[in-house]
Amino acid sequence: MTYIIDSTLREGTQSAHGRFTLEQSVDIATLLVRSGVDAIECGHPSIDPQEMLRVAAVVEAAGDVPVLAHARAHVDDIDAVAKSGAAWVGVFLGVNEISRRSRLPGRSVEDLHLRIEESVTHARRLGLRVRFTVEDSSRTPVEDLIAAYQVAVAAGAERICFADTVGVLEPHEVRDRIEQLRTACPGTDIEVHLHDDRGLALAGTLAALDAGADWASTSVNGLGERAGITDYAALAANLDFRGTRPLAAGELLPELSRLVGAYSRSMPDHRRPVVGRDVFHHVAKLHVAAVERDPASYEWMDPARVGRTGTTRRAGLPERPEQWINDPQIISAAELRHHRKGPGDRFVVVDNRFVPGADQYCIARRIPLMDDYGAGHVDTHVHHCDSLFVFLGEEEAYRGLSVEVTLGDRTFPVQSPAGVFIPAGVPHGYRVVGGAGTYINHVLAGDYNSSLLDPVGSHQ
């Protein structure tokens, strides 16, 4: 049996844009559990009190699914993991020359072995289960790698993790290392954590599993340090295709991908295997004709297995430039979820209805001077993409319009002229307080309603 430990909530926070709040982490953990992962890796509790609280919240949200939290081979780090409530601690230490030179100058291999032994023993005394990782495993001489893992196993580590920290190994090299570890550490579970710097993480993970690895480390959308790590959806779909691990709830993978993409402000590209917008989209005439007769002719799996539908609809912008010019239409905001009719007229400047394939939504609302603007016509809502508010008053230099803007759990008084940038995944709304002018809303999606993120669990 192959097991998946998803490390979006640890590795993902090390990506260029991945900073998950406590609430966002709980949302992600909830969907990960529903999608069938076997364990969740979350954070490094010793970093600060906020990280401790975040890990503890994920432990509670994960329920019966075990949570593993990271720790250096240091007593204080391990104590923090125990305090967080996580069942597992992921102790890591580099033992090769690069690691010793950059992090532990002057330490001998014997010193490091003692540190491994003491750390694992301390964790076991605290009642923690232990996974031990040799950081930068791939560039560590095999004899040193095996020696370090054997020290950890003798001290009580139940699982060892082979980490290709810089993503340099080819699949056959990964296979060879795992076969050597399987021989050297019989009866001990082996996990692989492979980075995608060379684009080989998925292939390397499959090779590792073929060689006898028990666990694979993944992240949603492959999110992680630099180029990221093995993509969760891609691995889960491939294991199902191989018949070695059935999809537990494949229909949730697009929702999970979209949620993590929004919270990390790093949506997967349209060609991302399994979850990308275009990966079940057929365009060539020959392909379209064949797929309409038998979808299997150009589809490696049934898209419905992963919550998708195939399409042969031609996408893209209209060819003629004059078709890109739109005459704004007055349309009530009541067409939008979380909206009601508001003050003044709402002009739809562009969306996919008027310029197909534009993938941009922009409206301008003419706000008249009123005695009472009401309690507001917009409820707090969340987009999967970035968006923008612009407020322009009627007075000189665009002054004269007063509003209240909600961002997250805070509300700010705003005077025109003003622009408000709203990152993907942030709850937001606005209310007119006084004056007259123009409000502009721009969203990086061609269909407003489909850009909205529903609360996690609303589709159960």
State the sign of the Cα–Cα–Cα–Cα dihedral 308, 311, 317, 322.
negative
The whole-angstrom separation of Cα 110 and Cα 116 is 10
Write out the two tokens for 232: 């969760």
Distance CA 24, CA 218 (A): 18
In whole angstroms, give the CA distance from residue 322 to residue 71.
59
193 given a catalytic annotation: no
Q: What is the CA radius of gyration of the chain?
A: 26
Candidates 401, 405, 454; CA nearest to 428 is 405
Catalytic residue among 74, 287, 338, 381: 287
Residue pair 233/35 in contact (Cβ under 8 Å)? The answer is no
For residue 193, what are the CA distances in angstroms to 99, 172, 196, 343? 18, 16, 10, 54
In angstroms, the CA 294 to CA 315 distance is 21
Write the burial class of residue 236 (CB in 10 Å: 0-12 exposed, 13-18 middle, 19+ buried).
buried
Give the Cα separation of 84 and 69 in Å (integer).
9
Cis peptide before 356 (omega within 30 of 0): no
Q: Which residue from 314, 280, 284, 315 is spatially nearest to 299, judged by alpha carbons?
A: 280
**CA-to-CA dists, residue 391 to 300, 367, 407, 413, angstroms:** 49, 10, 16, 12
Query: What's the full length of the chain, in residues?
Result: 460
53 touches 42 (CB < 8 A)? no
Bridge partners of 67, per DSSP, are 40
**CA dist., res. 216 & res. 206, Å (int):** 9
CA distance 237 to 305: 9
Query: Which residues are marked as active site?
Result: 287
